[in-house]
Amino acid sequence: MRAENAARIAEAIHAADSIFIAAHENPDGDAVGSLLALRSVLLGLGKRVHAATPTPPPARFHYLEGLEAISTDPPAERPQLGIALDCDGSDRLGALEEALLAAEVVVDVDHHGGPERFGGIQLVDPTATSTTMLVMEIARALGIERPSQAQASALYTGLIADSGCFRFTNTTPEALRLGAELVAAGADPSELARRVFTIRSIEAVLLEGRALSSLEMLDCGVAVAALSLDDFAQTGASQELTEGIIDSFRDAIGVHAAALLKESEPDTWQVSMRGNDVDVASVARKFGGGGHMFAAGCTIEGPREAVQERLVAALRTAVREAASG
C-alpha cells in the first residue's frame, strides 16, 4: 500500500506545475529535512515550488541547503498540488492550513499514528521511523534511486532526529538500511549527528541549567520541569533552544513519563512530553496536541501551577494505565 500511494503522489506531482509543500509549526529536524529534501526533488523536476512552515525553522539547521527559502507565508495563488509533511492533523499547519487545503489536490505525508488524516491522497505509515523515510519513497516513485548529497543530508537529518540517532524504539531494519544508503549518497553521519544533537550555544546551555534547576520528580515516576518567559529573557535564549532539554532527564532512573513546560507568551505553555513505555501521545491529544506514542506535545493556557496540575494528573493516569497493562 505504501508503494502504491507513493506512486499516486508521483503521478500528482508530474501532473502539477505549481506545488505548495508545508510542514508543521515549530518544525523539528524531521519536518525541516522532509521539506527541504522534497523541495529539492521538485525543483529538479522543473516544478514551481513554494515551501513554508507556519513558524520559522530553527537556525541551527542552517547547514541544510535551501533553509533560507522556507517561508512562513502561504503562496500568493491557489496551488495545483498541496503536500503536507509530518503533520498529525492539518491543524498542525497553523496559518498555512487554509491555503494548503485549498489546493486542487491535497496530499498527506506523515508517520504519526493519530486519527486526524486528511487529503485526497495519503502516504501515512506509523511504522515508518521518520517522514523523511516516506519522502524517499516518493523520490523513488519519481525515478530517483540515488539522492544528491544535499538531499541525502536533509533526509538523514530527519531520520536521526526522529530515531535519536538510531537509539529509540522506532529504529527499524528499514531505517538502518536507509541510513546506510544516505551515507553512501554523501550524508556525513558524524557531522550530521554532531549538528543535530551536540552543537549548542552558551545560551542553550544556560537555559538547560534553568530547566534542570526547576525539575521535580513526582510520584508515579512523573518528572516535570518548566521554563518561564523570565528564564528565556535572563539567558538570552530563544524558544528553539529548548530542543533536547527534556532528554536530559527523561532517562533518569525511575522516570516513566517526563514533561517540559515552555512559556511562549504570558500564561501560554508549549509542552514537550516523553514516555518510557508510557503513551504520552494520548495525553497530548487530551489537550489538543499530538505526536508519537513516546514523544508528543501540546499547548496549554493558564497559570503555571494550574497547567502543571492538569498535565501531571493526565500523565499519572497514563503511567498507571501502562503499568496495569
Closest CA to 270 of 228, 217, 320: 228
Taking only the tens place, the pLDDT of each residue in 95-111 is 999 999 999 999 999 99
Domains for the chain: give ranges and CATH numbers.
2-197 (3.90.1640.10), 202-324 (3.10.310.30)
Give the confidence band of 123 by pLDDT, cuts at 50, 70, 90. Answer: very high
For residue 124, pLDDT over 90 is answered with yes
Do the strands 216-218 and 222-227 form a parallel or antiparallel pair, or are they unpaired?
A: antiparallel
Of the chain, the percentage scoring pLDDT greater than 90 comes to 86
Say how many C-beta atoms besides its own lie within 10 A of residue 290's C-beta. Answer: 23
**pTM for the full model?**
0.84
Q: What are the residues facing 99 on neighbouring strands? A: none
Name all contacts of 173-181 with Cβ < 8 Å and 24+ positions apart.
Answer: 174/128, 174/129, 174/133, 175/129, 175/130, 175/133, 178/133, 178/136
Burial of 198 (0-12, 13-18, 19+ CB in 10 A): exposed
* Range of lowest pLDDT (185-189, 240-244, 308-312): 240-244
